[in-house]
Structure 1
Amino acid sequence: MAGHSKFKNIMHRKGAQDKKRSAMFSKLSREITVAAKMGMPDPDMNPRLRAAVNAAKAQSMPKDNIQRAIDKASKNDGENYEEVRYEGYGPGGVALIVEALTDNRNRTATNVRTAFSKNGGNLGASGAVSHGFERLGLIEYPGSVGDEDKVLEAAIEAGAQDVESDEESHSVWTAVEDLHEVARELEKALGEAEGVKLAWKPNIKVDVDADTASTLLKLVDTLDDDDDVQTVWGNYEISDEVMEQLG
């Protein structure tokens, strides 16, 4: 699942969202199962599970699929996933953080390292780039939910830290420990969010040109296509003009 900072463009390019639907459901199911295993199987009592369920609903994942993923957590099915984070540099020195859920660290590490090396990047050591990001909660709404002032007012009332808005979307940022409560309050004012998750927000964003963006997006696509990779975050900014050039 692609992360914030223009990654949403990848999922919408040339019908990619439809083609990746099955893979996305698989990743969402994995996150739901892991969240349910780590806490209570009740979304109301488990903030991480609630965020995972909300993300699944936002992608129109069937209720039966969601329930099966929750139920799977209580079964001894032999699947024990662990969270792994990889950090590295993409083309143009862009910093990337890759979050994965895996039952085979060696397989995942090899796949991620290969993706970086074949697409103009370098996988670094743990902590190589995360110092340039802040760990925050992220709640996402479509632009159609209301104008910037409406969302900003609701976010302030809910206790959020910041809001970023454009014509297509609103991103509400919160402290990690406030994510669940802020999401609940926003739901009362704005309805169900498109996404509720923990995120890596870059302290400084880097603008990239068309050549760099082309290779960078190939790298992100390759990572995102890996079954074990859940989210990719980056510190880059791709302008609308560059995206149009890339088609």
Structure 2
Amino acid sequence: MAGHSKWANIQHRKGRQDAARSKLFSKLSKEITVAAKMGDPDPDKNPRLRLAVREAKAQSMPKENIERAIKKAQGGEAEAYEEIRYEGYGPGGVAIIVEAMTDNRNRTASNVRSIFNKNGGNLGETGSVGFMFERMGQIIYPLTVAPYETVFEAALEAGAEDVEETDDGYFIYTDPTELASVSTALEEALGPAESTKLIWQPTTTTELDLEGAQKLMKLVEALEDDDDVQNVTTNADLSEEVMAQM
């Protein structure tokens, strides 16, 4: 799990400018709209929508933005988005999974392939790197929420599979089908989480030196800048020395 957490830490430490936050809100809105369109517009009756709304709130997305995204689905204004997963390799042989939501498959495939090619990567076939990841639910709480023992016991009672304490908080992992129920139980015990979402957890990692890490970050940022891309996950493992240099 260290590989994923370290990469998440780097992204977190970089911080996000206003433009990046606007793009993040746009991606969150798209997920909310799609979730509401696919199921019940009431978050209490729609687990995927409930998670999308919870994550949006955790990222400080305004309430009116959330409500607007749900109404867009109810009003039939939402585009017909298709969910696609791309897999490939980045600098240093790092495995990458790109999750996209698009109304034009050809445009998105072309853009993603171009970004990989321009940044030292190689887009592969579906399944080419997926075996190196496991689908999991992830819930993050700040270290200030409670002592480790308290968080561990609450997570265990809620049905979580593992709890990892890092410098950036408690990372709680669940079966993907149990994320909604576990997060609800934890919210009752510990309060709102900093983040609640489904992730691709690397089961094997690839270590990078400073140059490789910098090249990978450039590729990941270029992918995340694409409007159709929702999430980017890598199996990069960065040493403390490399992280300090970055």
TM-score by length of 2: 0.94
Q: Secondary structure at the match of 1:61?
A: coil
Q: Which residue of 1 aligns with 2:96?
A: 96
Q: Secondary structure at the match of 1:16?
A: coil
1:76 is aligned to 2:63? no
Q: Which residue of 2 aligns with 1:35?
A: 35
Distance in 2, matches of 1:146 and 1:19, equals 33
Q: Which residue of 2 aligns with 1:153?
A: 153
Structure 1: 5+ residue stretches without partners: none
Q: Secondary structure at the match of 1:80?
A: coil
Q: Secondary structure at the match of 1:85?
A: strand
Distance in 1, matches of 2:78 and 2:160, equals 39
Distance in 2, matches of 1:96 and 1:123, equals 9
Q: Which residue of 2 aligns with 1:130?
A: 130
Pairing of 1:86-235 with structure 2 (within 5 A): 86-235=86-235
Distance 1:47 1:128, change over 3 A: same
How many angstroms does 1:245 deviate by? 1.2
Is the 2:140–2:172 Cα contact (8 Å) retained in structure 1?
yes
Output the aligned Cα RMSD. Answer: 1.6
How many angstroms does 1:19 deviate by? 3.5
Distance 1:105 1:161, change over 3 A: same
Aligned sequence identity (%)? 58
Distance in 2, matches of 1:47 and 1:140, equals 18
Distance in 2, matches of 1:4 and 1:26, equals 24
Q: Secondary structure at the match of 2:214?
A: helix
Q: Which residue of 2 aligns with 1:10?
A: 11
Q: Secondary structure at the match of 2:187?
A: helix
Task: Provide Cα deviations, 1:40-95, integer angstroms capped at 9, x if missing partner.
Answer: 11111111111110111011111011000001111222611110100000111110
Task: Provide Cα deviations, 1:159-213, integer angstroms capped at 9, x if missing partner.
Answer: 1011111121211111111111101111011111122111111112222110100
Is the 2:87–2:127 Cα contact (8 Å) retained in structure 1?
yes
Distance in 2, matches of 1:172 and 1:211, equals 31
- Where do 4+ consecutive residues of structure 1 move more than 3 Å? none
Is the 1:54–1:194 Cα contact (8 Å) retained in structure 2?
no
Is the 2:139–2:195 Cα contact (8 Å) retained in structure 1?
yes
Is the 2:72–2:78 Cα contact (8 Å) retained in structure 1?
no
Q: Please, which moves more after superposition, 108-117 or 143-152?
A: 143-152
Q: Secondary structure at the match of 1:73?
A: helix
Structure 2: 5+ residue stretches without partners: none
Residue type at the aligned position of 2:90: G
How many angstroms does 1:144 deviate by? 2.3
Number of equivalenced pairs: 243
Is the 1:144–1:168 Cα contact (8 Å) retained in structure 2?
no
